[in-house]
Amino acid sequence: MPGASESFAVDMEKARELVNGRIDQLSDDLRHKVNKVLHDNPELAYKEFMAHDTLTAYLEKLGFNAKRSTHGLETSFEATLGEGGRQVVICCEFDALPGIGHACGHNLIATSSMAAFLGAAHAMSALKIPGRLRILGTPAEESGGGKAVLIENGAFNPPEDIAAAIMAHPLSEHSLHAKGSGYSGLAGLLFLVSHKFRVEFRGKTAHAAGEPWNGSNALDAAVAAYVNVAILRQQIRPDERIHSIIEEGGVASNVIPDYTRMNWSVRAPSICRADRLLERVEKCIEAAALATGCTHEFIKSPTYMNLRANETLCKTYVEDMAQIGEKVQLHQEKPYTASTDMGNVSHTVPSFHGVFSVPTAPDVAIHSPQFAAAAATDEGHAAAIKCSKGMAMLALRVLVDGTIADAARRDFEQPDTVE
């Protein structure tokens, strides 16, 4: 097995030619057999069965041994090329949102990740590049923290064995905060920590008109919790976020509800600040239960850690995108106040999570029906394909160049300075 710092003599211009040629060759196939199939059949967290079968079947058709239902998750999968040496993992998302389908563009993420893997694999085989390249299907990014579960289940073990984990996300052009600059993407994306949980309130049912004094209203508890936190929002920092919905609020207007359930997200740039904000939110919820005479229970989901931008991997990606005529912004001008479970990966191994822009109307943002429509366009597919070429070259350069791999590891080992 080669040492961590070892480099290999490879003609990277030839590698780029092989990568770009293979991805261009497969683009139309990917458009209709991956991208469109996933977009037309949106599936929710941990239920992405058609996506799982579509992606694994496509890999198998191209001669790869696709392992299905890996790491204890029914809809996770993986395929690997090579043995020994440095390893690069390309993460592949494919889940959708309730009611609005692929409004976060995960069909494009799956397309770009698949294309990057196939392009890099083609060059690895042709040029006999040592190391390992793995594509990992990561379900349940929108809810459920699939990557956090995969980390816990050993999908990134041993972490010192992985030189880089790579993926990219679509955003609308205006979300890059770099208008008029000609940028088509962003390398150093920053996302927030997100504590995700549900709260169940339990009260006592009674006739709402005949004997309301005999009931304890669980819907009142949910409404009070919502209002308490709405008041709290006045006293939080501009880069912090709190969201909630009432998932269950009762069954009939003339019956005092004895059960309600809320779904919450609490976000901040660092885990310390997110923990402090969570404590304040929990007190608002506890006060609502106390005021209404109800009991409450917190049901925690995996926390999404803040996304760390690896300087070396970001710079390398920017360089390779420039080789195909794409101008990619290295750092954000201001943070994007969203969250991803790729943040957890970035705290586990050196990671790259870039952004490619999708053409939209000026007022269209992700998590909207309009963005779901944009994610189905030829222009959206073309953006994903361009991004995949940069990711494929990033993967190859990490495998080939020990200097890049070592620098990325040093960046990863630096303390997280986000406050």
Region 181-195: mean pLDDT is 93
Q: How many CB atoms lie within 10 A of CB 40?
A: 12
Give the confidence band of 97 by pLDDT, cuts at 50, 70, 90.
very high
Question: Is there a single domain that holds both residue 51 and residue 164?
Answer: yes
What are the percentages of helix, strand and coil residues in the chain, rounded to 5? 45, 20, 35
Does a structural domain hold residue 418? no
Question: Is there a single domain that holds both residue 74 and residue 167?
Answer: yes
Over the stretch 112-164, which tens digit does the pLDDT of each residue have?
999 999 999 999 999 999 999 999 999 999 999 999 999 999 999 999 999 99
How far apart, in whole angstroms, are the C-alpha atoms of residue 89 and residue 116?
A: 11
Region 74-84: mean pLDDT is 96
Question: Is there a single domain that holds both residue 177 and residue 215?
Answer: no
Q: Which domain holds residue 236?
A: 193-302
CATH number at residue 292: 3.30.70.360
Over the stretch 21-47, which tens digit does the pLDDT of each residue have?
999 999 999 999 999 999 999 999 999
How far apart, in whole angstroms, are the C-alpha atoms of residue 81 and residue 86?
A: 12
Q: Is the pLDDT of residue 4 over 90?
A: no
Question: Is there a single domain that holds both residue 115 and residue 57?
Answer: yes
Residue 91: name the closest of 166, 188, 169 by CA.
166
Q: How many CB atoms lie within 10 A of CB 213?
A: 6
Question: Is there a single domain that holds both residue 36 and residue 173?
Answer: yes
Question: Is there a single domain that holds both residue 165 and residue 51?
Answer: yes
Question: Is there a single domain that holds both residue 296 and residue 180?
Answer: no
**Per-residue confidence (pLDDT) for residue 1, from 0 to 100:** 36
Does a structural domain hold residue 215? yes
Over the stretch 53-73, which tens digit does the pLDDT of each residue have?
999 999 999 999 999 999 999
Q: Is the pLDDT of residue 179 over 90?
A: no
Domain-terminating residue out of 240, 273, 302:
302
Q: How many CB atoms lie within 10 A of CB 230?
A: 12
pLDDT more than 90, % of the chain: 91
Does a structural domain hold residue 131? yes
Question: Is there a single domain that holds both residue 314 and residue 229?
Answer: no
Give the confidence band of 330 by pLDDT, cuts at 50, 70, 90.
very high
Question: Is there a single domain that holds both residue 158 and residue 227?
Answer: no
Does a structural domain hold residue 266? yes
The residue to which tokens 């006739």 are assigned: 207
Region 271-297: mean pLDDT is 98
Question: Is there a single domain that holds both residue 108 and residue 134?
Answer: yes
Give the confidence band of 178 by pLDDT, cuts at 50, 70, 90.
low
35: burial class by Cβ within 10 Å (0-12, 13-18, 19+)?
Answer: buried
Question: Is there a single domain that holds both residue 78 and residue 152?
Answer: yes
Region 262-274: mean pLDDT is 96
Does a structural domain hold residue 202? yes
Task: Give CA angle at 275 (91, 165), nearest 5°.
Answer: 15
For the entire predicted model, the pTM comes to 0.94
CATH number at residue 384: 3.40.630.10
Q: Is the pLDDT of residue 5 over 90?
A: no
Region of poorest pLDDT, from 15-24, 173-182, 215-224: 173-182
Does a structural domain hold residue 81? yes
How far apart, in whole angstroms, are the C-alpha atoms of residue 192 and residue 419?
A: 11
The number of distinct structural domains making up the chain is: 2
Does a structural domain hold residue 7? no
Domain-terminating residue out of 279, 302, 325:
302
Q: What is the mean pLDDT of the chain?
A: 95
Does a structural domain hold residue 2? no
Terminal alpha carbon distance of the chain: 39
Question: Is there a single domain that holds both residue 64 and residue 186?
Answer: yes
Q: Is the pLDDT of residue 180 over 70?
A: no
Domain-terminating residue out of 283, 302, 321:
302
Over the stretch 200-252, which tens digit does the pLDDT of each residue have?
999 999 999 999 999 999 999 999 999 999 999 999 999 999 999 999 999 99
Instruction: List the beta bridge partners of residue 201.
Output: 260, 296
